[in-house]
Structure 1
Amino acid sequence: MFDFRIPEVSDREWMQPALTASGGMGSEFAFGTLYLWSDAYATKVCKTDDLILRCSGGPMRMTYQLPLGNGSMRDQVERLLADAKERGCKFRIWGLTKEQTEALEQEMPGKFRYQLDRASSDYIYDTQSLIQLSGRKYHSKRNHLSRFQRTYDWSYEDISPDNFKDCIAVARAWCEQNGGCGEEDGTDSENCAIHKAFKYYDALHLSGGLLRIEGKPVAFTVGEEINPETYLLHFEKALSGYEGLYPAINQAFAAQHLESYRYVNREEDLGIEGLRKAKLSYYPAIILEKYVVTLLEETPEIPEE
């Protein structure tokens, strides 16, 4: 049985190089994702001589991710199957791409069910498109941004310890504007993750930007590098009452800091219709589909969309 444990900030030192080397573009390949949401998803990690493992949930409902390290996919999955059997829990792997499901089916045919988890699939954008907003399809985005820049006395600044409290104030005000942060809609967990992000900002190698209007903090974004080609945005919060504020913080931070990256991952839509529409409106270069793998004899847990 693998010796899983709750991740600590110091684990970034040995985990992020392996996550980066894997070549994955999903949000789960950033250590910050694993750590910031560890309370919400009961995330745990394990390091053996030849594998790095991640899981969530438990003890009777473990959800694994594919291990990082040596050995064939078949060997790695068989070791996860053995771990689940020893624990007496259902077997479940989350986060496989379409290509990985096809490879697993080739190596272990007829053993698994593969279900698309569309709500957890990541939206990945061409960085230059987010910065330039050029072409007919971004016409409305450019208009919103231009109107914002003409209408408001605004300023942009990088996030640093000097303005952590201002960002937290924006997050708190956003919660109040949206009915308060509660467990029912997941905003309580997000608020906890935001506080952890600022508490361990430097240790997690995060970066971000803050927008002010007439000196008042009104929007911020925070993210981290997944690999030299892909940057991940963890949080993007903007107060209501200011037209074009989301496009403004999105474009300003990308223009200031993301020029060297080919892609920007803006995470999933959680199955929320309005959020899905907003993310699609920026025309993602890739919708990184993620699949759940279960044994054929076990009951599926992801409803078909």
Structure 2
Amino acid sequence: MLKQEDFSPVTLADRDFFEHHYTLYPQTHSDNTFTNMVCWNHIAQYRYAYINGNVILASTIAGVTRFRPPIGPRDPELMKDLIRFAIEIGDNTPLVLIDPETARWIKEIDSSLTLVPDRNHFEYVYLASDLAELPGKNYLKIRSQLNKFRKNCPNTIEPITAENRKDVMEFLVKWCEWKGCENDLVLAHEKEAVFFAIEHFTELPLRGLMIRVNSQVAAISLFERLNKDTALVHFEKGLPDCEGIYKAINRETAALLAGEVTYINRESDLGVHGLRDAKIRYHPHHMVEVCSLKSDPEMNKTLDLLGNVL
């Protein structure tokens, strides 16, 4: 039976392990990626267990622990054990980021379990060619803003490397001063995550792009290959000095990736109204849908039943 001692912290030293496992079981959601876990470890305290060829991920935020479904070969007994364990030590949402196929499998295991869509964590996936070319009337306004940027802000594009990483750090300091990271807990956590990504850029499977305006870094993006046909953009930051800078870094990143992948995952909106509107305006090709296991008074019965069969 699963226990707390089965789980170990996710660290930079685990990169090879996760890369090998995800080669066997490719991921579609950003939260499970190694980069995401180590960059956000300061707030989410990611841990993992490796059991019967499956990886089980857990995160603990503000004292609340939640689990992800096993990543590996289907093992009904392991899933039952995980559900029991998650209900036992978690809150009213003990199991999260359940993809539709796994959700159907869970319902086959126990039809009484309550699974609900988690819209705030649906991820937006776009055709790389759409983001690169901005075709047709759907992107008319975006093209106009991009042209205005190009006209008013002469710029150069370059990859992020170990050699220009110091410039990126200086840019991030300016970005945080503008956004007021020190006075916003969410932004403060994001600041720590993106700084970690840059500080450990060569240790992570990351690539990056920057836009310079008047020789100064004005925008950056950090991304990686998520699976065989999809790239994942982890971070995208820009300064307000040039209108349209976010449109520009989005387009330049897509132009670079369009020759390598079919799709670009730009993560979720976390329920933030303005962010949701911005992501919808780019017309996603599809969403990475997920749901969560919800506990209720009947869960105690489920817990007892699962305990009896294990």
Same fold (TM over 0.5): yes
Query: 1:183, CA displacement in angstroms?
Result: 5.2
Q: Identity over aligned residues, as a percent?
A: 25
3-state SS of the aligned residue for 1:202? helix
Structure 2 distance, partners of 1:194, 1:150, is: 30
Secondary structure of the corresponding residue to residue 277 of structure 2: helix
Equivalent residue, structure 1, for 2:65: 62
Distance 1:274 1:213, change over 3 A: same
Aligned to 1:167: 168
Amino acid corresponding to residue 129 of structure 1 in structure 2: D
Q: Secondary structure at the match of 1:141?
A: helix
When residues 160 and 47 of structure 1 are mapped into structure 2, their CA distance, relative to the original with a 3 A threshold, is same
Residue type at the aligned position of 1:292: S
Match of 1:31 among 24, 31, 34: 34
Q: Name 1:192's counterpart in structure 2.
A: 192
- Structure 1 counterpart of 2:159: 158
Residue 12 (structure 1) aligns with:
15
Residues 132 and 254 in structure 2, CA contact (< 8 A), matched pair in contact too: yes
Partner of 2:139: 138
Offset of 1:229 from its aligned partner?
0.8
Distance of aligned partners of 1:227 and 1:89 in 2 relative to their CA distance in 1, 3 Å threshold: closer
Aligned-pair CA distance for 1:198? 1.4
- Cα root mean square deviation, aligned: 2.1
Q: Deviations over 1:262-304 (max 9, x none)?
A: 11111111211111111111001112222111334279xxxxx
Question: Aligned pair in 2 of structure 1 residues 281, 65: CA closer, same or farther (>3 Å)?
Answer: same
1:221 counterpart letter in structure 2: S
Q: Which residue of 1 aligns with 2:118?
A: 117
- Alpha-carbon separation, structure 2, partners of 1:181 and 1:118: 29
Output the CA distance in 2 between the equivalents of 1:169 and 1:122.
30
Corresponding letter in the other structure for 2:269: D
In structure 2, relative to structure 1, the CA distance for the partners of 1:176 and 1:128 (3 Å cut) is: same
Whether contact under 8 Å (2:114, 2:293) holds in the other structure is: yes
Number of residue equivalences: 295
- Which letter does structure 2 place at the counterpart of 1:248? A
Q: 1:204 to 1:11 in 2, by over 3 A?
A: same
SS at match of 1:193: helix
Structure-2 residue corresponding to 1:276: 276
Distance 1:280 1:93, change over 3 A: same
Is the contact between residue 30 and residue 224 of structure 1 (CA under 8 Å) also seen in structure 2? no
Q: SS of the counterpart of 2:9?
A: coil
Q: Residues 158 and 60 from structure 1, CA distance in 2 versus in 1: closer, same or farther, beyond 3 angstroms?
A: closer
Q: Secondary structure, in 3 states, of the residue corresponding to 2:8?
A: coil
Q: Distance in 2 between matches of 1:125 and 1:298?
A: 40
Q: Which residue of 2 aligns with 1:303?
A: none
Greater helix percent: which structure?
2
Structure 1 residue 182: Cα displacement: 4.1
Moved over 6 A (4+): none
Structure 1 residue 177 corresponds to structure 2 residue 178: yes
Any conservation in 2 of the 1:170–1:237 contact (CA below 8 Å)? Answer: no
Counterpart of 1:18, as a letter, is H
Alpha-carbon distance change, 293 to 188 in structure 1, aligned in 2, over 3 angstroms: same
Provide structure 2 residue ranges, at least 5 long, that are not aligned to the other structure. 300-310
Task: Please give the alpha-carbon distance, in whole angstroms, between the structure 1 residues aligned to 2:10 and 2:298.
Answer: 29
The answer (yes or no) to whether the contact 2:125–2:286 under 8 Å persists in 1 is: yes
Please, what TM-score do these two structures have when normalized by structure 1? Answer: 0.89
Distance verdict in 2 for CA 1:298–1:175, change over 3 Å = farther
Residue of 42, 45, 69 corresponding to 2:48: 45
From the superposition, tell whether residues 240 and 197 of structure 1 become closer, same or farther in structure 2 (CA, over 3 Å): same
Question: Match of 2:244?
Answer: 244
Does 2:257 correspond to 1:254? no
Task: For residue 56 of structure 1, report the CA deviation from its aligned partner.
Answer: 0.7
- What's 1:77 paired with? 79
After TM superposition, the score normalised by the length of structure 2 is 0.88
C-alpha separation in 2, matches of 1:68 and 1:265: 20
